[in-house]
Structure 1
Amino acid sequence: MPQAAELLGCLPRLHRYARALRRNREDADDLVQDTLERAWSRVSLWQGVGDMRSWLFSIMHNLHVDALRRGRLDLVDLDEHTPEIPIAAAQAERLALRDLDASLAVLPPEQREVLLLVAIEGLAYAEIALVLGIPIGTVMSRLSRGRERLRGLMNGEPGHRLGAAMPQFLGGRGIPALAIRPRSVAMPAQPIDP
């Protein structure tokens, strides 16, 4: 079945996005499993229209938001539950990654989701709009505000507590990966309800 192969091909991205949303390995694994169960039970609804990856991210996003609304999630700091990485990295890089993780954690969820979908998953604005069920203009404003707030947090600007270690590889103005534009994608002409 071609859908099964395509669905399995999306697993690494789903795991990465789930870890970013849940910040806890077990909860992230549960979210991926729930996403795959829902997708598999409704694969006939997809019918090859659009990108399966965007469809799966939409399902994952909706399941995550539903869990937040029900109050079933206890987000946990990964530093407390993840053993030290055995690879020797420069101290400044470890501090910068810690600051980045902490900075992303304090961003409003709406801004964090858009930033992650652009920077990590490389989705186009139109794809993000479909995944989150919001207009493209809202995607762009959340991305702009999220980048600005993340930059302030990472640079230790007044009103922000983070930013103790901002190494040169981050360029001093933020994270280069977050400054890139997502690829363009042709999306079906359908209205997106706000």
Structure 2
Amino acid sequence: MLLPELGYLRRVGLALTGSRAEADELVQETVLRALRYFGGYKGDGFKPWMAAIMRNAYRDRRRPMACAVAADDQQIQGIADSAPDPEQQALAKDNSTRLRGLIAALPDALREILVLREFAGLSYAQISVALGIPVGTVMSRLSRARDDLRIAWLADDDKAAS
């Protein structure tokens, strides 16, 4: 049950930490905690349960976040590599770096929900279970996170144009 989810856990770990090494450590810690507390698993959904463990392990570390996006530079460049124009590739890399910075600047509560929804692919109900909050709160925080991200992106555009 756990082995098929390791890729998923690594993606979530990368989204939370922004570092492969830290993500691997976080996955390892999450798996150890899951094994230790498996008796408390109620069968409500394995992914949300694991996401909640990972979130708690991450918070316990109390390390400042360097980046909050689950895509490392190679993955983002892989998307941009389909464009033959080096200028477009450079622009895509700049945009991905900019997006990572803007996501990292979101408050923890908003960033966590955005990462769990957009990068971990959890449903609203699964996020609700993972974070222990009502579905309505998940929906409102996700909406606010998206709005704040859009506003920050546009403000950054305006600042760059000036």
TM-score range (shorter-chain normalised) is 0.7 to 0.9
User: What is the identity, as a one-letter code, of the residue corresponding to 1:37?
Assistant: L
User: What is the identity, as a one-letter code, of the residue corresponding to 1:29?
Assistant: D
Equivalent residue number for residue 27 of structure 2: 32
Q: Which has the higher helix share?
A: 2
CA 1:53–1:83: 2 relative to 1, 3 Å: closer
Question: Does structure 1 residue 7 correspond to structure 2 residue 6?
Answer: no
Equivalent residue number for residue 58 of structure 1: 52
Question: Does structure 1 residue 145 correspond to structure 2 residue 144?
Answer: yes
TM-score (norm 1): 0.67
Aligned 8 A contact 1:153 1:163 in 2: no
Report deviation, 1:20.
1.3
Q: How large is the Cα RMSD of the aligned pairs? A: 2.7
Report deviation, 1:75.
3.2
Aligned 8 A contact 2:10 2:24 in 1: yes
Equivalent residue number for residue 105 of structure 2: 106
State how 1:83-122 maps to structure 2 within 5 Å.
89=81, 90-122=89-121
Structure 2 runs not aligned, ≥5 long: 82-88
Equivalent residue number for residue 18 of structure 2: 23
Name the CA distance, whole Å, in 1 between partners of 2:158 and 2:53. 33
User: What is the identity, as a one-letter code, of the residue corresponding to 2:30?
Assistant: T
Equivalent residue number for residue 170 of structure 1: none
Name the CA distance, whole Å, in 2 between partners of 1:163 and 1:123. 34
Structure 1 runs not aligned, ≥5 long: 1-5, 166-194
CA 1:147–1:50: 2 relative to 1, 3 Å: same
Query: Alignment length, in residue pairs?
Result: 149
Name the CA distance, whole Å, in 2 between partners of 1:102 and 1:143. 18
Equivalent residue number for residue 86 of structure 2: none
CA 1:39–1:46: 2 relative to 1, 3 Å: same
Aligned 8 A contact 2:17 2:67 in 1: no
Report deviation, 1:92.
2.1
User: What is the identity, as a one-letter code, of the residue corresponding to 2:110?
Assistant: Q
CA 1:52–1:98: 2 relative to 1, 3 Å: same
Identity across matched positions, percent:
36
CA 1:54–1:163: 2 relative to 1, 3 Å: farther
Secondary structure of the residue that 1:10 maps to in structure 2?
helix
User: What is the identity, as a one-letter code, of the residue corresponding to 1:141?
Assistant: S
Relative contact order, CA 8 A, sep 6+: which one is greater?
Answer: 2
State how 1:145-164 maps to structure 2 within 5 Å.
145-155=144-154, 157=155, 160=156
